[in-house]
Amino acid sequence: MVPPMGNRSSGTDDAAARPSTDSASLDDDHSIPALPWQVPLDPAPWWAWALFVVPFIAVPALNSWLWMGARDFLAVGLFTVIGASVVRVAGGVVLYRVEITPTVLKARTSLLVRSLAWQDVDDIEIVDGSVVLTSGKDENEINGIAKDQTAHAALVMQAARDAADDRPVRRSRPRPGIGVAFVLAYLVLAVGAFLLRWHLL
């Protein structure tokens, strides 16, 4: 999976297809819905949930079993850093919610909620089963869309972008998602298990 709302690798321009909101391109089952509208996404893969949950159990357990010594402090640090990286990557690369509103496109991972104002979108393309929104030099990829729903999602995005021309611009910085609290809790558990095991806390 590719991080949402981030830079897309080049080399796929030949496969790009621009959606059209002409009535001829819509049917009764794929009409433009009322906004806000959630893009239908495939369920998060099992490995993402596993990689996100396992370190919460495995790393604190390992840290609580280590023997006391200078090398053990290094091992605790390495276990904690590696585990935190696994939690961050597993939680950060999977889209859990994509919402189209009249003013912005919102994409949520476990760690961040990012928004892209429609007035900042220069182009919308369909590339290799994903929808790519070009904003200046940045190309933001929305992937993981349910099968046979990519074109419909692109049409809805294009319609929302066209309708937002006369609306006020709504821009916001990325904000933390619930996963940030989980990562902080993981760090407390991982280090705290070692400190409690050796009565340092």
Q: Tokens representing 159?
A: 């319609």
User: CB-based contacts of 192: which residues, under 8 Å, 6+ apart?
Assistant: 60, 201
Q: How far apart are CA 99 and CA 81, in angstroms?
A: 33
Grouping H, G, I as helix, E, B as strand and the rest as coil, residue 72 is helix
Instruction: Tell me if 27 is assigned to some domain.
Output: no
Residue 97 pLDDT: 87
Instruction: Tell me if 121 is assigned to some domain.
Output: yes
Instruction: Tell me if 3 is assigned to some domain.
Output: no
Paired residues of 98 in beta bridges: 107
Residue type, 161: R
Which of 168, 111, 158, 110 shows the shortest CA–CA distance to 134? 158
Residue 26 pLDDT: 46
Q: Tokens representing 137?
A: 């030099």
Residue 12 pLDDT: 46
Which of 177, 3, 174 shows the shortest CA–CA distance to 89? 3
Instruction: Tell me if 127 is assigned to some domain.
Output: yes
Instruction: Tell me if the bond preceding 36 is cis, omega within 30° of 0.
Output: yes
Paired residues of 100 in beta bridges: 37, 105
DSSP states along 111-160: SEEEEEEGGG--EEEEETTEEEEEETTEEEEE--BPTT-HHHHHHHHHHH
State how many domains the chain has: 1
Instruction: Tell me if 25 is assigned to some domain.
Output: no
Instruction: Tell me if 185 is assigned to some domain.
Output: yes
Residue 131 pLDDT: 92
Residue 101 pLDDT: 93
Please name the residue ranges forming H helices in 17-125: 46-65, 70-92
Which of 47, 41, 17, 43 shows the shortest CA–CA distance to 123? 17
Residue 18 pLDDT: 63
Residue 168 pLDDT: 81
Instruction: Tell me if 105 is assigned to some domain.
Output: yes
Q: Is 0.75 surpassed by the pTM of this model? A: no
Instruction: Tell me if 28 is assigned to some domain.
Output: no
- 10-residue averages of pLDDT along the chain (201 residues): 44 52 47 87 79 82 70 78 77 79 88 88 90 89 88 93 86 80 82 78 63
170 burial type by CB count under 10 A (0-12 exposed, 13-18 middle, 19+ buried): middle
Whole domain around residue 122: which residue ranges?
A: 13-19+33-197
